[in-house]
Amino acid sequence: MDDRYNPEKVESRWQEYWEKNHIFRASEDKSKSKYYLLEMFPYPSGKIHMGHVRNYTIGDVVARYKRMNGYNVLHPMGWDAFGMPAENAAIDNKTHPATWTYQNISTMQSQLKRMGFSYDWEREVATCKPEYYRWEQWLFLKMLEKDMVYRKESYVNWCEHCQTVLANEQVESDLCWRCGEMVQQKKLWQWFFRITDYADDLLVYCDNLPGWPEKVTLMQKNWIGKSTGSEISFKIEGQEDYIKVFTTRPDTLFGATFMCLAPEHPLVESLSKGRPQEAQVAAFVDKISKQERSSSSIEKYEKEGVFVGAWCINPANGRRMPIYTANFALMEYGTGAVMSVPAHDQRDFDFAKKYNLDIVVVIQPKEGTPLDSATMTEACPDPGLLANSGKYDGMDNSEAMDKITDWLEKEGLGKKTISFRLRDWGISRQRYWGTPIPVIHCQTCGVVPTPESDLPIVLPEDAHLLENGGSPLPTLDFFKKATCPKCGRADAKRDTDTMDTFVESSWYFIRYCSPHCDTAMFDKEAVKYWMPVDQYIGGVEHAILHLLYSRYFMRVLNTLGLIDFKEPFTNLLTQGMVLKETLKCPEHNYIFPEEAQIADGKATCKKCGNDVEIGRVIKMSKSKKNVIDPNDLLNRYGADITRLFCLFASPPEKGLEWNDDGVEGCYRFINRVWRLAATCIEITKGAKPYSGSLSQLSDSDAKKLYTKAHQTIKKVTDDIDGSFHFNTAISAVMELVNAMYSVELTSNSSDEVKSVALFCIEHIILLLSPIVPHFAEEVWMLMGKSEGITEQKWSTYREDALLSDEILVVVQVNGKLRSKFSIDAESSDELIQKTALADEVVQKYIDGKAIKKVIVVRKKLVNIVV
């Protein structure tokens, strides 16, 4: 046996062994319990980085652990291969998105293979292949048939200079990232999935996902944002028309003193038409229409508005309310109109102060000084009793919500209603590298679905990317020109938009069940066996969008009768992000860490010598270049130590600022185990691992080690199975290894110690095997085992070997630790209390003082209060 672990020699050999023997090939074996373990597939951006390594190592440990526990494990991997970075790279490097993507897939695949992950590579999928996306097109057509998709006009970021659509990421403080021109908004006809039809169901099931972290379901609930309230109609003065608002506070109706409409609200133009305010309103609407529309940007803009020149009537008290259009009223939410109650809503209050509008208090707090509109400095949203509200005066506001709504309903001016924050999912992208939307636009027939037999509508891979970043598809006649399938018109046009890449990732996990099925989206029997995913693991960054879209897609498939379940992922582990500071060179923009020279908190660019700006510590991503490629660690330490280190660094759900300082310790640990194994193999020849009861052992070292070993098995099992806290699992094994080193193991050791030592080392290797599989295979083989460690059963512990006979009790006086003592584990609370009070050190602190209270925590602690 070598005197140290040699990853270079060992790791590729076992990888070949696993591959040659198809160890990780999964097949539907109905005699076994299935376990579908899935990690979020990566976008092939170039090379893998530590974020991937961490995610996939976590998954691999669980996969191998479940396999050892007798499950039939499905553990697939693939590529989320469509997306914008491929287009950017194509422009930057004068290559083609497909070439770039396939090259990256090949690089990243070999990196993943080098990590020794237990994937069934025969199930690999890449979403950019027609074999994959044809089924997405097929599903789109099914959805179109059932009216689950529709078209409407909506805005995109538009750069006039580049003549192209920009993603939110490509807009940097209102400017185009390529040319620096001010970004505008452009209205386009786009396709939307009716996800809002499932808003309630998606919400309700959030409470039915016990295997998900609560923070994720909570975020989803807030995202869906169900609010109950009332729809109220306000008559427009001098017209027959009404303005409908949605409000969660009908109790404050009497305090509504003005009205705000979204700038895109159809009434804004019609009401202001012909009035003195017309030009000002038009200018305001125009200004807002050019502003960015992302929620974070909208919130950054100062709240402002203009009077449209018209009034509406408050149905409760007949008050004339000026109608404004304001940038905080959103057309996408509620009805696009807001009744403003400045006394009880801060935003309305600010707005009223700014434009000198009336403030009327209609809810008085039950206690404290009454509110006075003349002296208030902020709005009061708190509950209380109604005032200035006619017959509702004095009523509790929670009761008034219903009462006022009931009255409105009788008058035909309102009703109870529910509003969601969730919006329909816009899927049209004016991009090239994505799944073509399978419809044809005909001047006679309108939108016509592509016949199923024409699928897939293949994305032409011989297209050249445009310098401005725009999609070449509209310029390709051979792609764009189509014959109308309905009327036969020859001048019909194929839709040249592609789908949002979140569409591909909303169903890839179901494709893995039968990845080569070419007659359907998936094989129903295979899906019945494997789905839903038992454990899904991925970055917490996907807590809302990807996970919500996937849940929505399963509902669509369920509605279409294709599957009989609704929730795709039974258990979810959201991994914290691996973070690293960004580096920005004035000449080269973002640079990779290896392109900078960093010393004493200062950085310079190796290429140009300029000072580099050290930016915030953010999640690793290729676009910001703050990535650490694992190849360096792999070359120095191999896969197992890289895996071990990633897991040992922190628990998975926590974010991790990347730093490889501790890796040397992992290397030392592995070699400590290696040498320990070598010693055990050497001295225990002919011995059998001990597996009897603790009480049958007489040697104190043997007893100590045996208990520790069983405690370790329990700890590691609980840490992996319950919480994925591999860092503490590894610590536990380290403790056992330390305990073994503290016992002198020589050929002169007693037989008892030898056979306990053998038990210990075998279980150390078994416990470590999911984490450092190559190392474990190698040691296992050197220990003379004929079967690979992947075929072994997971360790189990004996309850009767877990406990030692003595326990440690700590004694506090007034909550401060003063003493401790060991006592027989079976001692009664009375005896423990008596022993504590008699303790010499304790006596010193309680001497001469009256004992007020003694608290005894079972088998653990005594607190004496004096």
Of residues 496 through 525, those in contact with RNA by CB under 7 A are: 500-502, 505
Long-range pairs of 783-789 with CB within 8 A, sequence gap ≥ 24: 783/677, 783/681, 784/681, 788/17, 788/23, 789/765
Interface with RNA, residue 331, by CB under 7 A: no
Residue of 98, 545, 678, 823 that binds RNA (CB under 7 A): 545
Long-range pairs of 5-8 with CB within 8 A, sequence gap ≥ 24: 5/640, 5/670, 5/671, 5/674, 5/775, 5/778, 7/637, 7/638, 7/639, 7/640, 7/641, 7/774, 7/775, 8/638
CB 672 within 8 A of CB 779: no
Task: Tell me the window of 82-90, 236-244, 304-312, 559-567 that interacts with RNA (CB under 7 A).
Answer: 82-90
Bridge partners of residue 611, in order along the sequence: 604
The least distance separating RNA from the CB of residue 174, rounded to whole angstroms, comes to 14
The span from the first CA to the last CA of the chain, in angstroms, equals 63
Nearer to RNA, 410 or 858 (CB): 858
Nearer to RNA, 109 or 863 (CB): 863
Interface with RNA, residue 422, by CB under 7 A: yes
CB 303 within 8 A of CB 327: yes
Task: Tell me the window of 162-170, 256-264, 281-289, 357-365 that interacts with RNA (CB under 7 A).
Answer: 162-170
225-240 burial, b at 16+ Cβ within 10 Å, e below that, comes to eeeebbbbbbbbeeee
CA 730-732-733 angle, 5° bins? 65
Q: Which amino acid is at 244?
A: K
The least distance separating RNA from the CB of residue 749, rounded to whole angstroms, comes to 17
The least distance separating RNA from the CB of residue 810, rounded to whole angstroms, comes to 4
Q: Beta 569-575 vs 533-539: how paired, if at all?
A: parallel
CB 324 within 8 A of CB 292: no
Nearer to RNA, 542 or 763 (CB): 542
Interface with RNA, residue 822, by CB under 7 A: no
Nearer to RNA, 591 or 647 (CB): 647
Residue of 288, 337, 492, 656 that binds RNA (CB under 7 A): 656
- Helices (H) and strands (E) in the chain — how many of each? 24, 35
Bridge partners of residue 153, in order along the sequence: 189
Task: Tell me the window of 15-23, 46-54, 81-89, 350-358 that interacts with RNA (CB under 7 A).
Answer: 81-89
Binding residues for RNA restricted to 770-799, rule: CB under 7 A: none
Interface with RNA, residue 664, by CB under 7 A: yes
Binding residues for RNA restricted to 547-606, rule: CB under 7 A: 577, 579
Q: Rounded to an integer, what distance in angstroms lies between the CA atom of residue 170 and that of residue 176?
A: 6
Residue of 37, 68, 73, 84 that binds RNA (CB under 7 A): 84
The least distance separating RNA from the CB of residue 407, rounded to whole angstroms, comes to 31
Task: Tell me the window of 117-125, 772-780, 798-806, 807-815 that interacts with RNA (CB under 7 A).
Answer: 807-815
Binding residues for RNA restricted to 688-727, rule: CB under 7 A: 725, 727
Task: Tell me the window of 590-598, 648-656, 765-773, 785-793 that interacts with RNA (CB under 7 A).
Answer: 648-656
CA 839-843-848 angle, 5° bins? 155
CB 549 within 8 A of CB 221: no
Closest CA to 191 of 138, 143, 156, 150: 150
Interface with RNA, residue 861, by CB under 7 A: yes
**SS3 label, residue 447:** strand
Residue of 368, 784, 815, 848 that binds RNA (CB under 7 A): 815
Interface with RNA, residue 672, by CB under 7 A: yes
Nearer to RNA, 426 or 689 (CB): 426
Q: Rounded to an integer, what distance in angstroms lies between the CA atom of residue 553 and that of residue 566?
A: 9
Task: Tell me the window of 93-101, 449-457, 752-760, 854-862 that interacts with RNA (CB under 7 A).
Answer: 854-862
SS3 assignment for 555-588: HHHHHCCCCCCCCCEEEEEEECCEEEEEEEECCC
Residue of 235, 421, 524, 798 that binds RNA (CB under 7 A): 421
Q: Rounded to an integer, what distance in angstroms lies between the CA atom of residue 415 and that of residue 465?
A: 53
Interface with RNA, residue 654, by CB under 7 A: yes
Binding residues for RNA restricted to 166-185, rule: CB under 7 A: 166-169
**SS3 label, residue 481:** strand
The least distance separating RNA from the CB of residue 13, rounded to whole angstroms, comes to 24
Nearer to RNA, 664 or 824 (CB): 664
Interface with RNA, residue 544, by CB under 7 A: yes
Interface with RNA, residue 329, by CB under 7 A: no
422-453 burial, b at 16+ Cβ within 10 Å, e below that, comes to bebbbbbbbbbbbbbbbbbbbeeeeebbbeee
SS3 assignment for 255-322: HCCEEEECCCCHHHHHHHCCCCCHHHHHHHHHHHHHCCCCHHHHHHCCCCEEEEEEEEECCCCCCEEE
Residue of 67, 114, 542, 703 that binds RNA (CB under 7 A): 542
Nearer to RNA, 441 or 619 (CB): 619
Map residues 733-752 to x or -, x wherever contact with RNA holds by CB under 7 A: -xx--x--xx----------
Nearer to RNA, 496 or 790 (CB): 496
The least distance separating RNA from the CB of residue 282, rounded to whole angstroms, comes to 26
Interface with RNA, residue 608, by CB under 7 A: no
Interface with RNA, residue 491, by CB under 7 A: no
Give the ranges where 50-129 is alpha helix by DSSP (H). Answer: 50-68, 84-93, 97-114
Interface with RNA, residue 388, by CB under 7 A: no
Dihedral of CA 378/383/387/392: which sign? positive
Map residues 269-308 to x or -, x wherever contact with RNA holds by CB under 7 A: ------------------------xxxx--xx--------
The least distance separating RNA from the CB of residue 497, rounded to whole angstroms, comes to 8
Interface with RNA, residue 117, by CB under 7 A: no
DSSP 22-71: TTT-----TTS-EEEEEEPPPP--SS--HHHHHHHHHHHHHHHHHHHTT-
For RNA, how many residues bind (rule: CB under 7 A)? 101
Map residues 212-231 to x or -, x wherever contact with RNA holds by CB under 7 A: --xx--xx--xx-x------
Binding residues for RNA restricted to 612-641, rule: CB under 7 A: 616-619, 621, 623
Binding residues for RNA restricted to 18-47, rule: CB under 7 A: 42-43
Binding residues for RNA restricted to 428-467, rule: CB under 7 A: 428-431
Residue 470 per-residue DSSP state: -
Query: E strand or H helix at 829, and its extent?
Result: helix 829-838
